[in-house]
Structure 1
């Protein structure tokens, strides 16, 4: 026998905004941190991918700002935990390979792929929530961010394969 689950629409909206805040905060934090590694990379394809990621993240943040406006909500950038903590941990690990450009590049690829995978999962859940709260335009904006995160992850995996094939 199936259980009936009754989630209040207002509760879903609050939940949606709270978690959008977390993703927005992580995107803002990532924009601050990416320049640290942009010109440290050894493999030119990776440098281009990071530069492209910066442009994509800026666009994703603009879409999220539009979502806040559509929902009549204010951005509340969260604490340095969760997704932003993942970013900081990743960038600290990358620094441990400062003296080895090849391992630094592999570390960048590894962590950028993980960051994108987390963003993909976050955008998937937000998209499902947007369906439940019946906000079609918001669902579309989240889907665009989701598709870009998927494309970025695929690009990082492609570059990793190409990078390893030159070893």
Structure 2
């Protein structure tokens, strides 16, 4: 299709419900697998943290991720879908980079904490974006309960990101 000036613009995407459901479950698997990886790795950071408020934020993030995974379990049930391992190369690479950066700052606690905050911020941003896209897909799946569960996950990820920003500001000003 073209507009009045002759430029091409995309057609509206029309996915059949089975294709959309498959896309949704595939990406839900990716997010779920990434969250499981995150829950296994985040507690390891607490031993590296110098600033106590950051330790609190990491603990709260782990608890929130576990709640998000529980909501995702409900979504799987609502879709009558089975969880499968999803590719997490991007997120696991980001987490591995975080641990490398932390190791590079082994002798400087403040910089190590800033590296932790930097990477956790990036991870939370990726989660928020993922939940937003799945929420849009949930609208097409015509399931308000799934949409609501994803909204709750998005809100928690956003709150964790805001907490990390607050801690970063407090830490830098300290």
TM-score, length basis structure 2: 0.91
Shift of 1:47: 0.5
The match for 1:16 is 24
The residue number in structure 1 matching 2:53 is: 45
TM-superposed CA distance for 1:38, in Å, is 1.1
Which residue of 2 is the match for residue 69 of structure 1?
77
Q: Partners in 1 of 2:88 and 2:149 — Cα distance?
A: 25
Larger radius of gyration: 2
Which residue is 1:94 aligned to?
A: 102
- 1:77 and 1:88 map into 2 onto residues whose CA distance is 19
For 2:111 and 2:105, the matched residues in 1 are separated by 6
Aligned partner of 1:108 in structure 2 is: 116
The CA distance in 1 between the partners of 2:100 and 2:46, in whole Å, is 15
In the TM superposition, what is the alpha-carbon distance from 1:59 to its structure 2 partner? 0.5
Whether the 8 Å CA contact 1:31–1:54 is kept in 2: the answer is yes
RMSD: 1.3
The separation in 2 between residues aligned to 1:100 and 1:24, in whole angstroms, is: 34
Aligned to 1:144: 152
* TM-score, structure 1 as length reference: 0.94
In 1, are the aligned partners of 2:94 and 2:119 still within 8 Å (CA)?
Answer: no
**Alignment length, in residue pairs?**
166
**1:117 and 1:5 mapped to 2: Cα distance?**
25
- Flag structure 2 segments of 5+ consecutive residues without an equivalent: 4-8
Q: Which moved more, 1:2-11 or 1:102-111?
A: 2-11
- For residues 82-110 of structure 1, what are the alpha-carbon distances to aligned partners after superposition, in whole Å with 9 as ceiling and x for unaligned? 22322222222222212211100000000
2 CA distance for matches of 1:96 and 1:87?
A: 14
Q: Please, which runs of 5 or more residues in structure 1 have no aligned partner?
A: none
Partner SS state of residue 85, structure 2: coil
